[in-house]
């Protein structure tokens, strides 16, 4: 009797679905829009002057349960500065054949360098191409940004660079919210910039560079 009731309930679920509206997406011509907090492809963000937010600390790699991240830190010098701190990521790779998109790496990142986008079209023809290097992961340069290496441009001191942002928009605090992220962009100009940046980022996604995978 119990088995009969269970089967009846099971077929009831199937039967109920027969009358629900069919959802058909015309992929890839009309790709569906994921939820705002969808965990997609990672981005390595920049400060507003173009310097990289990543300081090569490797905390993301240690936090990753799938061993999908490889980082090698390198030292900044006054002549060759890639990030505001002492170190930057000389090598940064994420292996999307391993990544389970759990987001633990972005929680571990102390500088909000690493965030996740909504991009989900990550299929590639080979396993090698699923290893994204720093070149593919770095956020694009926006107007006003300068390609590193270069000195810090947002004031004379660390306080200017970081805390000054509270009273002086354009300095570093909050830079991770804009403009390639959907959150935190309220005025029209930054919204337009965000759209451009997302388009540019998407371009790098669909045409990933075939750079050498230095430390596979
Ligand atoms: S999302 Fe999870 S599995 Fe993917 S790189 Fe980050 S920590 Fe590793
Ligand atoms: S992405 Fe963040 S956690 Fe990972 S090495 Fe760079 S600064 Fe450290």
Q: Determine the distance separating the centroid of ligand 1 and the alpha carbon of 75, expressed in angstroms.
A: 25
**For residue 70, is pLDDT > 90?**
yes
Contact 105, 99 (CB under 8 A): no
- Residue 189: DSSP 8-state: H
Which of the listed residues 51, 55, 63, 64 should we mutate to test ligand 2's pocket, taking the one with most ligand atoms within 8 A of CB? 55
Query: What is the maximum alpha-carbon separation in the chain?
Result: 80
- Which ligand is in closest contact with the Cα of 41? 1
Average pLDDT (61-65) is 98
* CA-proximal residue: ligand 2, atom 8 (nearest): 57
> Is 211 a domain residue?
no
Q: What's the gap in Å between 67 CA and the centre of ligand 1? A: 8
Neighbouring C-beta atoms of residue 116, cutoff 10 Å:
17
> Could you tell me the pLDDT band of residue 102, with boundaries at 50, 70 and 90?
very high
More confident residue, 160 or 12: 12
In a domain? residue 176: yes
Q: Residue 182: what pLDDT?
A: 43
Assess if residue 21 is contained within a domain.
no
Cβ < 6 A, ligand 1 pocket: 63-64, 66, 68-69, 94, 99-105
Measured CA to CA, the distance from residue 180 to residue 7 in angstroms comes to 50
State the total domains in the chain. Answer: 1
In a domain, residue 28? The reply is no
Beta strands 114-116 and 69-75 are unpaired
Task: Provide the residue range defining the domain that includes 42.
Answer: 33-206
109 annotated to a ligand binding site:
yes
Q: What is the CATH number of the domain that holds 97?
A: 3.30.70.3270
Strand 114-116 and strand 87-95: the pairing is unpaired
Q: Is 111 in the pocket of ligand 2 (CB under 6 A)?
A: yes
Query: Does some domain include residue 2?
Result: no
42 is a domain residue: yes
Mean pLDDT of 33-51: 92
**Model pLDDT for residues 149-193, shown as the tens digit of each residue:** 999 888 777 777 777 654 555 555 544 444 444 433 333 333 333
pLDDT single digits (tens) 125-137: 999 999 999 999 9
User: What is the reported pTM?
Assistant: 0.73
Q: Is residue 41 part of a domain?
A: yes
């Amino acid at each position: 009797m119990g088995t009969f009731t269970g089967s009846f309930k099971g077929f009831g679920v199937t039967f109920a679905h027969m009358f629900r509206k069919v959802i058909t997406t015309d992929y890839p011509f009309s790709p569906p829009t994921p939820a705002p907090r969808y965990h997609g492809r990672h981005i390595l963000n920049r400060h507003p002057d173009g310097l990289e937010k990543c300081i090569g600390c490797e905390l993301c790699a240690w936090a990753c349960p799938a061993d999908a991240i490889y980082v090698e830190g390198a030292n900044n010098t006054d002549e060759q500065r890639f990030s505001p701190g002492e170190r930057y990521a000389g090598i940064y790779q994420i292996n999307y054949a391993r990544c389970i998109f759990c987001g633990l790496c972005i929680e571990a990142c102390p500088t909000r360098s690493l965030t996740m986008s909504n991009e989900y079209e990550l299929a590639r023809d080979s396993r090698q191409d699923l290893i994204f290097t720093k070149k593919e992961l770095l956020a694009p340069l926006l107007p006003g940004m300068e390609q590193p290496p270069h000195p810090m441009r947002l004031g004379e001191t660390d306080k200017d660079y970081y805390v000054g942002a509270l009273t002086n928009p354009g300095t570093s605090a909050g830079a991770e919210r804009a403009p390639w992220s959907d959150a935190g962009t309220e005025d029209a100009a930054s919204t337009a910039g965000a759209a451009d940046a997302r388009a540019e980022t998407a371009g790098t996604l669909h045409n990933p560079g075939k750079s050498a995978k230095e430390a596979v």
